[in-house]
Structure 1
Amino acid sequence: MKKLLNLMCLFAILCSQAVALPKHQVTEWEEDIDFYVEQVKTKHIKPFHTLSEKEFDQRIATLKAELDILSEVQIETRLMGITSSLSDGHSNYFMMSGPHRHFPLRFKYFGDELRIIAAAEDYEHLLGSELVSINGVPTSDLYERLKHYLSGVDNEFSEKVSFEFHLTLAKLLTGLGIAADGEEAEFVTRSGSSLSTHHIEPISMELFGQIEPPYQARRPALAMKDIAMPGIQLDIVNETTAYFRFRHYPDLEDVLDNCTALQSKLESSNARHLIIDFRGNGGGNFYTGLAFSSCLLPLKQFDWLTGAVLLTDGHTFSAAMSNVVQFKQLFNATVIGEPTGGDPNTFSESYRFELPNSKRKLSLSIRYYPFLEKPTEAVYPEELVTQSWAEYEEGLDIVLMRALEYF
């Protein structure tokens, strides 16, 4: 009976979304799609390295033939899926470049469990709960359905990270027939052995952006300080280890202008060891990262024979992943943590453009950098350290703890 009700619900959702567009909008989307195809074929450095050009053309032809029976959200979802099929993390359809809303939850995987790590005030009682289903679709099935549409994906690790975020995007769930446009969805969660059901409405991006996880890493205790390089902070841990938290890329000029001051700060300390933390860093200008490395390399106080330690996770992508590869060599470094979300031997750098009528934004890869001689889909750590839910909830940064023990 429950299965029948789920099927009836899905049928109702699908029907409710298939609202035909006015003829002029169909024409505008035809023009946008033609422009999209031209950009893919002329700007991407090698667009059909995975998806064949024949299959690409067929999917485009099918989409154009069905424009008059699709809603705008369904059209966008199809384009997102086609772009995802190009199979590199710098070729993306940014669905959030148009009107969109999010379900007010943030998710993170701990092993196979997808847990709620942040929520709007009305749903804070769900913190720590495991997601079981949305509108009757189990979490594992949600993953299988969404993974063919996700952006920013180079490998299985960035795929998980992208899924954690895009699962909140109500517009994408609508386009896939999982949720009704602008309406509440049924979330089933598990806490311990107890299941509970919640009907949750999507909220604006502005409000969603204010939702932050209440769980903070408390151990080891840190006193991070700004170094006039926005996105990079420093703490001298245990008086002997310079720990840099490298979350975002500053402007190249910020690194160049403040290098001397940073060198003076380090030289006046007793730091002999070096940790650079690239966890959570989605990339930027890797030349800025190289400038940062050139600021540290002249310092004779560090034990360069033992080398530095680099920390990575599934969020470490694009330039951050590239700098990890480079820093391994420059700093004789050991990587600790989880595999990077970026593939060191794939297409990269972004050519960005927008569709002329809908103004939706996209990106395409325009370079190829083989950073490692041996083919591999990620930078794998020498020491794999993953955080459990219990450690995360308690505020234990076990990856950093292991890095400090390394010395």
Structure 2
Amino acid sequence: MIRTALKIAGGTLLLVCLSAGLWWHVNGLPFLYSQFSPSTEQIIGDQEVPRALSPAQWQEDLDSLAQILRQRLIYVKGAFGARRLARRVDSLKRLVPEQTRAERILSVARLLDLPAPGTGHTGLPFIQRPVSWRLLPMRIFAFDDGFYVVHAKDERLVGNEVLAIGGTPADSVAAALAPWGLTSFAEPLRAAGVVDQIDEIPLRMRTPDGRRITRNVASKGAWSFSTVLYEKSLQEPVKGKWSPANAHPRTPNYGLSYRDSTDLLYVQFNRVRNASSEWTIADLADSLRVIADTRPLNKVALDLRNNGGGNHDLIEPLVDLFGNHPKIDERGTLYVLLSRKTFSAAGTLAMELERRSKAVFVGEPGGFAPNMWGDTVPVLLPNSKLVGNVSYRYWQTGLPDEPRPRLAPDLRVPLTSDQHFSDTDSAMIAVRQHEPGPRNTVTITAAERNEFTGTYRLSPIHRARVVDTSDELQLHVDRGRPESGLHPFMESDLHPLSSTRLATDITDAYLERRSGSKELALVWKDTTYALAPVDSGFTLPTEDLRAGRFEQAAKRLRTTRASGFKLDSWITSALTARADTLEAKDRPIDALRYNQLAVELFPQSWRVHSSLAYNYKLLERTDEAIRAYRTFRTLDPRRGKAVNERLQKLKRPDQEKEQ
């Protein structure tokens, strides 16, 4: 009887194991990648991901991606150039027949690596099921003084300098795999010709004590239990780590400390997301204001080095505090720490502070450009099922079309391996030691001051005013008056260097008056902008929108876009906000033209199609609402479930069920 029971138990266990094995064979990879890359798995869904495709199918994917970029990437000509895009696609397609699978994936990634500064949001995530590359159990970081192992499953490797991979110098490998550099993925190394096989990757290293060693590091797939454990360990948040070379996410989103001994207020700002409903970024700004009101302040350090972004709409309370508090808005008080990992909404915050405060920037150049293509939507390639991200929104956080690829620090402090491994924060040391040098200003007469004062047109959507407060001259640039719901664009005191040249609070930014001309010149870094005098009653398109002068605003915006000027997210918001206001006043028919203009100017944005669909729904124009919702769903498949629910409520009983 016992023998029978054991047989039954053994048979049951065998069935369980076979069932588990079958489930894992079918669902294992989707399950694993849902843990590491849930956003891509959401888009792929239950579609089969092929492991082998013909060259023609890969070429079809490249053509499909090019078409997606033309249709969904905002200002594609500015980001890529239509002819450059066509040439790039043709050249990549010619390479496909002789390429390996990894090389073909890299070709897709290179097509999404756009050439214009500020396009870093668009790209191909390598952590996704259709890629399924093997991983090395380590992280290598490119310090200013070389490539070093900063994390490793074998902790004895941490601190070693990587000299070569497979016999190729590390810097040459990084250059061959630019812009991604030395990642943990094995297949790109073989695709670049660095190694012949990827089961074990030979790394030549120098240990901290100077010895040269070679280690063969085994690469393993995402299905490996050891890989899962190691990668999961790197996803565990850490607290208080300052070095951008540390791969762990940071916690909490933000925090502050005040040192009575030095009167230094330090703010570590790791993510532009509210920590909770009880402790928001606005609450953080209020807390900082209380400290500034009640404590002596020598310096304020805002640390953005590990901030990869978040919600652009949450930063204004901090900008207002740092730019307007009398104790902080002084030269040599506010210091903003940057690194290559400062990105997206954190970059927007840095740019706002550059234009609206007396901030001194410290560290490395940020990982963002002053003007950015941001806010992405996922796109699915038809054959390979690769999921890429494409930007549909443009954030003009710098001056129009300014060419800077990065915000460069005023105090450059390169990140070195010694700083990281010895836990020596050289950027904060530089903050404590820095004292601003004297500004050699002159006194100018009232008549000379008067030559600068007035209202000027900076761009089709920017107005500049030079104001004489009797104490000093000030520069104010706006995109619409505060009642239009827009924040100031630039605010600075002006410091006379001569009777025709004024310095601003911003590094390498000056206001100049040219002899014999009523125009002023804003010398901004390496670019000069003409300030044309206008009447004090000169309005901007955003003000026309708020005042209900729709036809005037629409004509100006259409003309501006036709000229090649990039209308940004502020215009999108102004249009949809005006429509929302009218809808709230039970005037949906008046709101409609604002939503229609938003779709005309920004057809790539799912947000404006969503707003238009709701407007049609209020007007009971069901067929048009359905079309707008379907466009919304096409532009952002992540929101497909929510859109389908709205469509079901709109559809008549005689219409087919929405899929």
TM-score range, shorter chain: 0.7 to 0.9
Deviations 1:239-274 (A, max 9, x none): 622211112121496324665566556656555642
Match of 2:608 in 1: none
Match of 2:411 in 1: 383
Which residues in structure 2 correspond to 1:274-289 (within 5 Å)? 274-289=300-315
Match of 2:186 in 1: 170
Is 1:231 equivalent to 2:253 in the alignment?
yes
Quote how far apart the aligned CAs of 1:360 are: 2.1
Quote how far apart the aligned CAs of 1:38 are: 1.5
**Could you say what secondary structure the match of 1:74 adopts?**
helix
Match of 2:16 in 1: none
Match of 1:35 in 2: 64
Which residues in structure 2 correspond to 1:226-375 (within 5 Å)? 230-238=252-260, 240-251=263-274, 254-256=280-282, 260=286, 263-264=289-290, 271=297, 273-294=299-320, 302=328, 304=330, 306-366=332-392, 367=394, 369=396, 371-372=398-399, 375=403
Is contact 1:230-1:250 (8 Å) kept?
A: no
Match of 2:217 in 1: 200
Between Structure 1 and Structure 2, how many residues are aligned?
Answer: 362
- Structure 1 pair 301–66 and aligned structure 2 pair: CA distance change class (3 A): closer
Cα distance in 1 for residues equivalent to 2:328 and 2:166: 55
Match of 2:200 in 1: 184
Which segment is superposed worse, 239-248 or 261-270? 261-270
Deviations 1:321-348 (A, max 9, x none): 2211211333321111122121214544
Quote how far apart the aligned CAs of 1:77 are: 1.2
Cα distance in 2 for residues equivalent to 1:218 and 1:28: 46
Quote how far apart the aligned CAs of 1:296 are: 5.8
**Amino acid paired to 1:247:** N
Match of 1:158 in 2: none
Match of 1:125 in 2: 156
Match of 1:102 in 2: 135
**Amino acid paired to 2:166:** N
Cα distance in 2 for residues equivalent to 1:217 and 1:257: 23
**Amino acid paired to 1:74:** E
Cα distance in 1 for residues equivalent to 2:252 and 2:158: 31
Cα distance in 2 for residues equivalent to 1:196 and 1:257: 52
Is contact 1:21-1:68 (8 Å) kept?
A: no
**Amino acid paired to 1:371:** G
Is contact 2:319-2:352 (8 Å) kept?
A: no
Match of 2:106 in 1: 77
Quote how far apart the aligned CAs of 1:91 are: 2.1
Could you say which structure has the larger radius of gyration?
Answer: 2
**Amino acid paired to 2:304:** F
Cα distance in 2 for residues equivalent to 1:298 and 1:371: 20
TM-score scaled by structure 2?
0.48
Is contact 1:77-1:176 (8 Å) kept?
A: no
Deviations 1:354-378 (A, max 9, x none): 3245432212233252604653222
Cα distance in 1 for residues equivalent to 2:313 and 2:86: 37
- Structure 1 pair 218–112 and aligned structure 2 pair: CA distance change class (3 A): closer
**Amino acid paired to 1:45:** I
TM-score scaled by structure 1?
0.75
Which segment is superposed worse, 308-317 or 288-297? 288-297
- Structure 1 pair 406–193 and aligned structure 2 pair: CA distance change class (3 A): closer
**Amino acid paired to 1:246:** F
Match of 2:173 in 1: 142
Quote how far apart the aligned CAs of 1:141 are: 1.5
Is contact 1:103-1:170 (8 Å) kept?
A: yes
Is contact 1:283-1:317 (8 Å) kept?
A: yes
**Could you say what secondary structure the match of 1:57 adopts?**
helix
Which segment is superposed worse, 341-350 or 328-337? 341-350
Is contact 1:321-1:340 (8 Å) kept?
A: yes
Is contact 1:118-1:213 (8 Å) kept?
A: no
Match of 1:17 in 2: none
Is contact 1:132-1:138 (8 Å) kept?
A: yes
Q: State the percentage of identical aligned residues.
A: 20
Is contact 1:278-1:316 (8 Å) kept?
A: yes
**Amino acid paired to 1:236:** Y
Is contact 1:170-1:179 (8 Å) kept?
A: no
Structure 1: tracts of 5 or more residues without a match: 1-19, 151-161, 220-225
Is contact 1:236-1:271 (8 Å) kept?
A: no
**Amino acid paired to 2:254:** I
Is 1:111 equivalent to 2:167 in the alignment?
no
Cα distance in 2 for residues equivalent to 1:256 and 1:356: 44
- Structure 1 pair 22–363 and aligned structure 2 pair: CA distance change class (3 A): closer
**Amino acid paired to 1:392:** H
Cα distance in 2 for residues equivalent to 1:235 and 1:347: 34
Which segment is superposed worse, 312-321 or 167-176? 167-176
Quote how far apart the aligned CAs of 1:145 are: 0.8
Cα distance in 1 for residues equivalent to 2:80 and 2:329: 47
Is contact 2:166-2:195 (8 Å) kept?
A: yes
Cα distance in 2 for residues equivalent to 1:261 and 1:322: 22
Deviations 1:67-124 (A, max 9, x none): 566443232111112222544312212222232332122222333411112211x2x2
